[in-house]
Amino acid sequence: MATNRVRFSQPTKDLLWSESGGHCQNPSCRIDLHGLVQHKNVGELAHIIPASPIGPRAAENPELSEDARAQADNVLVLCPTCHTMIDKAPGQYPSEVLLEWKRRGKDARALAHGTPVLATRTAVREAVHELLDANNAVFRLYGPADGLFDDARADQWSRHVREVVIPNNQRLLRLLTANRALLTPEERSTVDEFAVHAKELEDRHLRGDWTPGSTRFPRRMATILKDDV
């Protein structure tokens, strides 16, 4: 008895509501959806790939199972206006764009609610250097080194970059963004350079973009927050 009205499980609805922070996940809208709670359970749950094989964006992934279509990673939380907008113009809002909205929504939530805003430079320094030390250990063990070409070492490097270094870089950038007021102007520019380096590292290891001439890890980052000001 297939029906086009997919029923989301309560855990899926809870997860989506929490992931969105109760705001529309369209980054140029972000309206507060709490007012809608009076009328509905959760804003509006918008399928990226639709429940029905003839819905908007259905042709982008026709093989996706019915079960996968009902999972949280295929659903955005939107206000009614944005939900109507994306479904009326699927060509303008392909799944690629909607997945990017979801990713940015998660980042915004992690920055706002999952990142401590600390009181002192010492506290920020400790948190930052714990992450930098962990990344440095990976670099010392497996990082690219002059005169050393070894496939197994390169495979280990790539694995640890994806599993350790990239997630730590994302935490570092959130931490340094949330606590930017405690940084000196020089440190802020170091962080901005580090953000470019971190993005290019992600482009290489997650998206296979090996454009040459990428920005190296800024040396000043290794001693950031060490000076008392």
Applying CB under 5 A, the residues found at the interface with Zn ion are: 24, 26, 29, 79, 82
| Shorter beta-carbon distance to Zn ion: residue 80 or 94 | 80
| Shorter beta-carbon distance to Zn ion: residue 57 or 160 | 57
Tell me the CA distances in angstroms from 87 to 37, 69, 91, 153, one per residue in order: 22, 16, 9, 47
CB of 36 to Zn ion, least distance (A): 11
CB of 101 to Zn ion, least distance (A): 10
Going by C-alpha positions, the residue among 48, 53, 62, 52 that lies closest to residue 94 is: 48
Strand pairing report for 44-47 and 75-78: antiparallel
Which position has the token pair 């992450």? 131
CB of 40 to Zn ion, least distance (A): 14
Beta strands in 65-111 (DSSP E): 75-78
Measured at the CA of 82, the angle between CA 77 and CA 84, to 5 degrees, comes to: 105
Token pair belonging to 65: 């199972």
CB of 87 to Zn ion, least distance (A): 13
| Shorter beta-carbon distance to Zn ion: residue 83 or 121 | 83
CB of 112 to Zn ion, least distance (A): 17
| Shorter beta-carbon distance to Zn ion: residue 83 or 171 | 83
Return all residues near 76 (Cβ < 8 A) that are at least 6 apart. 25, 26, 45, 46, 48, 98, 101, 102, 105
CB of 44 to Zn ion, least distance (A): 9
| Shorter beta-carbon distance to Zn ion: residue 30 or 220 | 30
Going by C-alpha positions, the residue among 214, 217, 161, 225 that lies closest to residue 194 is: 217
Give the DSSP H/E element, type plus range, for residue 225: none
| Shorter beta-carbon distance to Zn ion: residue 24 or 224 | 24
CA–CA dist 65, 68 (Å, integer)? 5
